[in-house]
Amino acid sequence: MRAVLVVNPKGGCGKTTLATNLAGCLASRGDSVMLWDLDRQKSALEWLALRSPELPVIHSLEGKEDEPSGKQKRKHDWLIMDTPAGLHGKNLERAVKPVDKVLMPIQPSLYDMAATRDFLAVLHEEHLLRKGKYFLGVVGMRVDARTRAAAALEAFLKQFELPVLTYLRDTQVYANAAFQGKSIMDLPHYLNEKDLDDWTLLLEWLDK
């Protein structure tokens, strides 16, 4: 089982949106997926509770005390971990060290960029950022490429030697799908056709 940590200490940057849609994307292609909600708000589990049994199955874990057993690790292909805001110290170390990949969502705002810069500094100081371009990847969230904010985000991300995997566009499609416990891949093609290429790039990186 491969473990993917979705993390950024900034609240409201899109961690749960990224984690739930990633789980849905992987499940839609036939992979066995487990979603682990480490946030006390349990937003990912609320989304999962709304999910129809007719959709591709996503299994759930609820908290730190439910760490996957050896049997679960052998049974499932992926573990997607949604983390709380403000993750730091020993909790951050415990979350990062055992995973195969880290995804860091970031929105095009001054506050998100400042929090991300500080977070990357902590990862370096604590020696938690493994070498190689396939460990930590950045995902731009709610990005409209036509805006000045998007240009500022792109310039900011060029400072770091980390892959920017994809930009997820600023659209209500994700929010509307969430109300039904759906991911972007569970929607009709006329609703998700503009987003499929963005997710293809992300999945290709995860599979490497």
- Of the chain, the percentage scoring pLDDT greater than 70 comes to 93
Q: 151-196, pLDDT tens digit by residue?
A: 888 888 888 878 789 999 999 999 999 999 999 999 999 999 999 9
**Residue 15's CATH number:** 3.40.50.300
Taking the model in full, what pTM does it have?
0.92
Tell me how far apart the alpha carbons of residues 27 and 57 are, in angstroms, rounded to a whole number. Answer: 7
In degrees, rounded to 5, the angle at the alpha carbon of residue 162 between the alpha carbons of residues 149 and 2 is 115
pLDDT of residue 178: 97
Highest mean pLDDT among 47-56, 116-125, 135-144: 47-56
Q: 29-40, pLDDT tens digit by residue?
A: 999 999 999 998
In degrees, rounded to 5, the angle at the alpha carbon of residue 151 between the alpha carbons of residues 150 and 152 is 90
Q: Is 70 exposed, middle or buried (0-12, 13-18, 19+ CB in 10 A)?
A: exposed
pLDDT mean over 40-47 = 94
| More reliable by pLDDT, 186 or 9 | 186
- The domain in which residue 31 lies consists of 2-207
Q: Return the closest-CA partner of residue 170 out of 150, 186, 151.
A: 150
Q: 86-112, pLDDT tens digit by residue?
A: 888 888 888 998 899 999 999 988 899
Model confidence at 64: pLDDT above 60: no
Q: Return the closest-CA partner of residue 95 out of 79, 105, 74, 81.
A: 81
Number of domains in the chain: 1
